[in-house]
């Protein structure tokens, strides 16, 4: 069976390396300018170069978002930046502006250009135009496409397609929205979206408040989780599957990437997924999620099940992030890490290791740096040791199963 790409987000070098270790075939990142989500873009050119070298070791790739909608004053330094991206080994740039596509083609011919979802590609004619007339290599399909649309576009197009499978949804047309601009003077199309659609609002008639509970008037969307649709998307011929979330934590990146890696590998084995398996993988994916999810517009789901209307969008986190393994000592069969959440003797912890099934153990003892035994550790970032009945690697993720 053919291979497909699992494409993960990363807001910094650490998260980028974690995504790659946990099975991302490619990671998309943003530089410090020319990108949407500018607040999530912490990559200097030196960081991008290091990310490319790290990715190469794992056979993975780095894509860089250059997806702002530029105004006249936004072009300064762009050509030099694009040339540098090509020089340091970036595979592709994700672009939403015809002007930037033109510049990339002229100054960095070996860089792939991927059409950003901002361009709202919802039909094969548009996809083919970008490929045949402008030499674009891939289109990221609009999140407004249904599963049937994705199938038809991918079948009829001469270009690779990429589809979102997980993460935040924009309730307007993939960012074509001025809510944030109007309310906060932060331009959603130049990296500044304040996510005003997700705020809680209060409604007044003259001076009298007429809301009695939390209200989300602008209909912010629940996050996307397409675990149930992924098998059909793969069979539709989509090349790349994208997880949204460059502002998400290292724990989120590790746990969501790891779970989708397992699911994709299982689908690529070829035999159809059973309903039970599908539910199992979806549950695994949602262990890293703290927001209510829906399956986006793939199945045309509508109404309260896809929106954060009158309810709080946050669901309870059912797994606590405890830390990341720093040292494993095979002689003492114990490991050391900086504690990020309260942990105590008797807790059941789960270990996420790249490309392995998750493993559990019960905490038998905890020691601090001076070898004092602790019943529990409440101090964030305290360096502690505990025994473990199996081997680990630095970088493995530790979480507590709460429910
Ligand atoms: S405010 Fe909401 S709807 Fe508008 S661009 Fe931002 S995420 Fe999209």
- Is the pLDDT assigned to residue 316 strictly greater than 70? no
Among 169, 197, 224, 291, which residue has the most ligand 1 atoms within 8 Å of its CB, making it the best to mutate?
197
Architecture of domain 319-401: Beta Barrel (2.40)
Enter the DSSP assignment of 117: G
CA 401, chain centre distance (Å): 22
Q: Is the CB of 169 under 6 A from ligand 1?
A: no
Report the C-alpha gap between 151 and 147 in whole angstroms: 6
Q: What is the pLDDT of residues 229-264, one digit of tens each?
A: 999 999 999 999 999 988 899 999 999 999 999 999
The percentage of the chain sitting over the pLDDT mark of 90, rounded to a whole number, equals 69
CA nearest neighbour of 354 among 34, 47, 58, 2 = 58
User: Tens of pLDDT along 277-292?
Assistant: 999 999 999 988 778 8
What does the pLDDT read at residue 197? Answer: 84
Cβ(307) to ligand 1 under 6 A?
A: no
pLDDT surpassing 70 at residue 167: yes
Mean pLDDT estimate for the chain:
90
Q: How sure is the predictor about 170, in pLDDT bands with cuts at 50, 70 and 90?
A: confident
- Quickly state the pLDDT bin for 39 (edges 50, 70, 90): low
Query: Is a pLDDT exceeding 50 seen at residue 313?
Result: no
Domain boundary assignment for the chain: 5-173+223-300, 319-401
Architecture of the domain whose range is 5-173+223-300:
Alpha-Beta Barrel (3.20)
Q: Which secondary-structure segment (H or E) carries 352?
A: strand 348-352
- The pLDDT confidence band at residue 176, using thresholds 50, 70 and 90, is confident
In the reported structure, the alpha carbon of residue 194 is separated from the centroid of ligand 1 by a whole-number distance in angstroms of 7
pTM above threshold 0.95: no
Residues 180-190 have pLDDT tens digits of: 888 898 888 77
Closest atom of ligand 1 to 176 CA is 5
- Closest of 125, 123, 62, 134 to residue 97, by C-alpha: 134
Q: What is the three-class DSSP state of 236?
A: coil
Distance 378 CA to ligand 1 centre (A): 38
Residue 248 is classified by DSSP as: S
Q: Which pLDDT score is estimated for 48?
A: 97
- CB-based contacts of 187, cutoff 8 Å, min separation 6: 180, 181
**3-state secondary structure string across 152-190:** HHHHHCCCEEEEEEEECCCCCCCCCCCHHHHHHCCCHHH
Residues 321, 399 contacting (CB under 8 angstroms): yes
pLDDT in tens, 319-340: 789 999 999 999 999 999 999 9
CA of 178 to the centre of ligand 1 (A): 8
Q: What is the mean pLDDT of residues 107-136?
A: 96
- Euclidean distance between CA atoms 354 and 253, whole angstroms: 12
Confidence band of 304 (pLDDT split at 50, 70, 90): low
**263 or 170, which is more confident?**
263
């Amino acid at each position: 069976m053919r291979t497909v790409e699992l494409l993960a987000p990363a807001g910094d070098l650490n998260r980028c390396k974690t995504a790659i270790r946990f099975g991302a075939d490619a990671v998309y990142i943003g530089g410090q300018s020319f990108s949407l989500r500018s607040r999530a873009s912490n990559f200097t050119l030196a960081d991008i170069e290091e990310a490319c070298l790290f990715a190469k070791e794992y056979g993975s790739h780095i894509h860089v978002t250059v997806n702002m909608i530029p105004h006249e004053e936004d072009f300064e330094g762009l050509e030099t930046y694009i040339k540098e991206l090509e020089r340091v080994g970036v595979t592709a740039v994700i672009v939403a502006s015809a002007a930037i596509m033109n510049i990339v083609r002229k100054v960095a011919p070996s860089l792939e250009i991927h059409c950003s979802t901002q361009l709202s590609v919802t039909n094969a004619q548009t996809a083919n135009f970008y490929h045949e007339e402008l030499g674009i290599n891939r289109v990221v399909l609009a999140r407004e496409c249904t599963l049937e649309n994705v199938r038809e576009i991918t079948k009829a197009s001469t270009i690779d397609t990429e589809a979102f499978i997980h993460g935040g949804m924009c309730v307007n047309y993939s960012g074509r929205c001025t809510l944030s601009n109007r309310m906060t003077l932060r331009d959603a199309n130049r990296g500044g979206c304040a996510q005003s659609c997700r705020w809680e609002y209060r409604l007044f008639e003259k001076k009298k408040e007429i809301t009695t509970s939390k209200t989300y008037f602008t209909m912010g969307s629940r996050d996307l989780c397409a675990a149930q649709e992924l098998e059909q998307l793969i069979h539709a011929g989509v090349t790349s599957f994208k997880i949204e979330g460059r502002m998400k934590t290292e724990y989120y990146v590790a746990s969501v990437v790891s779970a989708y890696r397992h699911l994709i590998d299982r689908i690529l084995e070829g035999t159809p997924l059973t309903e039970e398996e599908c539910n199992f993988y979806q549950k695994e994916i949602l262990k890293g999620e703290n927001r209510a999810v829906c399956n986006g517009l793939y199945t045309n789901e509508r109404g309260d099940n896809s929106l954060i209307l009158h309810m709080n969008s946050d669901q309870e986190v059912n797994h606590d992030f405890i830390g990341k393994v720093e040292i494993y000592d095979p002689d003492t069969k114990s490991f050391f890490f900086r504690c990020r959440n309260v942990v105590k003797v008797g807790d059941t912890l789960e270990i996420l290791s790249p490309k392995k099934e998750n493993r559990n153990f019960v905490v038998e003892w905890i020691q601090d740096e001076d070898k004092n035994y602790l019943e529990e550790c409440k101090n964030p970032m305290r360096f502690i040791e505990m025994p473990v009945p199996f081997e680990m690697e630095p970088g493995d993720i530790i979480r507590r199963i709460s429910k």
